[in-house]
Structure 1
Amino acid sequence: MSPPESLPPKLRVAVFNRTFSPTGGGAERYSIALVEQLSARHEMHVFAQNIGHQWPGVTYHKVSSPLRKPRWINQLWFATATWWATRRGFDVVHSHENTWHGEVQTVHVMPVKYSLFQGRHGVRRVLRWIKVVTSPRLLAYLGLERARYAARPGRQVVVTSESLRPVMAAAYPGSSAAISVVTPGITLPGALTADRKREVRAQLGLPAEGRCLLFVGNDYRKKGLEALLQALVQLPADVVLAVVGNPAHIAEFRALAETLKLGARVFFLGALMDVSPAYEAADILVHPTFEDTFAMVVLEAMAHGLPVVVSGPTYCGIAGLLSQRANALLLDDPRDAGELARVLEDLLVRAPLRETLSQGAVAFAAHYQWREIALQQEALYFAAVAAKTAPA
């Protein structure tokens, strides 16, 4: 009889997020899910300015925020405060923020340097540098970013999709050898019944009958809500839209919906602590984003068996993993309301296509469960510890 395998050592891990709440967005839900999964195996400590989460075995540390605006000053404050609090006593520091401190740095957005300089040459590049050196905000972000991705023993740079790997390598070539991909994940929900669908629609204030499109995103502009509203005008009157996300944008887009005479067909639900009821209430997820390094909401919707309409790989990281008309419908141009309306109209009238996409979505999502994703993250923690402690 072979001896039992020894358990891996328990690590003391610090995790940085300015906002540690499910309402923060996909990046925050990603961080939260990893902490929940790993808390059974390691001593997890969360450092955040806004904490809207509680989990057994997790220790929470409130980081002060004496000056929330301008945001770049708050970012510098958060980076400094978390460095001071975790400069000793932790095996691994894992940052989801633009900070210089941390063996593991997870990238959720395009690097500032890439956004500023990619594709700009000659005079255009010089003008962009003039803009940078005259902006304390840009200098702060670029300075933090450069320190964040600098090569050092144990440094692990995590990107959430393969499409982000070449972007990081182009912006910070020195980080290339340290880059790993750890995608978002899901926890597969139980089967949805007709009674449950009616129940959650009633809870959310949605019509009991009719077909419901779902939009989930905190930045309504960047995630393409305007084009979706314009497309909704062209769809049958029984099709309604539920909008989940940052309540700060509701007034502007409610006014747009009224201008388009869609007031009775658009339901702004605000930020939800748990988005699952919205997925259960909906019939189709629409995500015409202009920029997403992955788009966790698409994966979550697919886990619930929703057919998804999403921007193509040029705009959205997860789209590079999806197959047109097998598990998703991919948009060539998310700004084209006409294309979006045609795609949605076709999907709404073709029940076999909806069924194909639903089955394909669940099959796809099953390969991205959090328990497996967390083990990938854990392996990077141990790699960071081994590199830090290796003899020079």
Structure 2
Amino acid sequence: MRIALLTRRFDSAGGGTERDLIVTAEALRAAGHQITIFAGEIRGATGQWDVHRVGAGPGLGRALSLMRFAWAAAPAARRAGAELVLSFARCVGADVMRSGGGAHASYIRAARKWRGALGASAMRISPYHRVQMLVERQAFRSPGLKRVIAVSDFVRRDLIREFGLAPEKTVTIYNGVDLDRFRPAADPSERAAIRQKFAVPGSARVVAFVGNGFARKGLGFLIEAWPLVAGGAFLLVVGADRAADKFERRAGALHVGARVVFAGPQPNVEAMFHAADAFAMPSLFEPFGNAVMEAMASGLPVMTSAFSGVAELIPPSMRGFRVENPDDVGEVALRLGALFDAPASLGAEARETAAKFTWTRYANELNALIESIG
């Protein structure tokens, strides 16, 4: 079958949605389908993929560029001979929509928790965000839409609620994790080297936090709770944020600056997991949470939140680390204490849980869905 994949941005070296798109393209091609990609923006080399730019125009702002792509991409794909159109972006007229983030309206409502009332109101009236909500309403309510793929039941329930989708029209296909890249450290010297690089004592307990968008992912709550954490534990923060200085200043004001290490973005994030004893990300809004699954694959017990899709996959032995109210610093500290007291055997159980959710499993479930509607 000739299948078109739609995406706002194609980047063969990217992460997140860009990585998911490439994995999907590989899975469909391995099943014998002919794949063409239509993107509003192309970065880097296209390599082995047939990639077409669509919807671009000179002098267009973000809102108009988004609108033009949203209505032009699916027709362009069909004119090029696509028999099925699968969209990773908010596009009108696709046969299958994959949602990695839930309804944009839900995101804006949730943003009040980390942006404040004024910041969330500014988003709500922004032309760019208004266009996103307009497009997704048209896309998810299109009579030609055959299936909707959600990256978690958290997202699936949100889409059903927001757009009145028939439950049987939606399916959850969880992201996979690279078990070869993310695995427990084989060499203890690697753990020691990373700790030495960031001036973390070899004997200290270390909790890793990995991700961009610190406020949404709950880093502020971890820092607020850190003075309540006993035993001189360290928090190793990996990632980038425009407001990183604010978080560093807050750690200093709470007199835990020496125990909160801001490592910045790291190209080999798997090595950072090897330096840690546990992982924590008490997000306020997390459609899935790839970093949580990567931490489990690396053999770390994890703390997540009730507002994270990946929490659905946490084994029963780790549910006591799940934060129900991330903005409750007392609860965050309590869950951290339980995380520190976790038996060493939970590392192996974390790895076993992650091993159930491979990209091979994702490919099999995706191809079964495509066959059911092809």
Same fold flag (TM > 0.5): yes
Number of residue pairs the alignment of both structures matches = 355
Alignment match of 2:66 (pick from 75, 82, 89): 75
Cross-structure match for 1:141:
132
Pairing of 1:48-87 with structure 2 (within 5 A) = 48=39, 57-61=48-52, 64=56, 71-80=62-71, 82-83=73-74, 85-87=76-78
Counterpart for residue 290 of structure 2: 296
Distance in 1, Cα, partners of 2:164 & 2:86: 21
Query: Aligned partners of 2:199, 2:42: CA distance in 1, in Å?
Result: 29
Alignment of 1:1-392 (within 5 A): 11-18=2-9, 20=11, 25=16, 27-41=17-31, 42-48=33-39, 57-61=48-52, 64=56, 71-80=62-71, 82-83=73-74, 85-88=76-79, 89-114=81-106, 136-137=127-128, 139-153=130-144, 155-189=146-180, 190-193=183-186, 194-201=188-195, 205=198, 207=200, 209=202, 210-236=204-230, 238-312=232-306, 315-326=307-318, 329-348=321-340, 350=341, 353-384=342-373, 386=374
Where do 5+ consecutive residues of structure 2 fail to align?
A: 111-122
The 1:79–1:271 alpha-carbon spacing in structure 2 relative to 1, beyond 3 Å, is farther
CA RMSD of aligned residues (A): 3.3
Q: CA deviation at 1:335?
A: 1.2
- The aligned counterpart of 2:114 is none
TM-score by length of 2: 0.80
In the TM superposition, residue 56 of structure 1 has moved relative to its aligned partner by 6.2
Amino acid at match of 1:30: D
CA–CA distance in structure 2, aligned partners of residues 29 and 205 of structure 1: 29
**CA distance change for structure 1 residues 33 and 234 in 2, over 3 Å: closer, same or farther?**
farther
Distance in 2, Cα, partners of 1:105 & 1:246: 30
Partners of 2:12 and 2:321 in 1: CA distance:
30
**Cα contact 2:38–2:77 (8 A) shared by 1:** no
Confirm or deny: 8 A CA contact 1:14 1:90 kept in the other structure.
no
Q: In the alignment, is the contact (CA less than 8 A) between 1:40 and 1:57 conserved in 2?
A: no
Q: Relative to 1, partners in 2 of residues 1:102 and 1:308: Cα closer, same or farther, differing over 3 Å?
A: same
**1:363 to partner: Cα distance:** 1.8
Deviation, 1:146, is 1.8
Shift of 1:371: 0.6
Q: Secondary structure at the match of 1:157?
A: strand
1 CA distance for matches of 2:337 and 2:60? 44
How many Å separate the matches in 2 of 1:259 and 1:23? 36
Contact 1:327 1:359 in 2 (8 A): no
State the shift of 1:14 in Å.
2.2
3-state SS of paired residue (2:242): helix
Equivalent AA in structure 2 for residue 33 of structure 1: V
Structure 2 Cα separation of the partners of residues 103 and 273 of structure 1: 36
**Percent of residue pairs identical:** 27
- TM-score w.r.t. the length of structure 1 is 0.77
Q: CA deviation at 1:113?
A: 4.3
Alignment gaps of 5+ in structure 1: 1-9, 119-130, 387-392
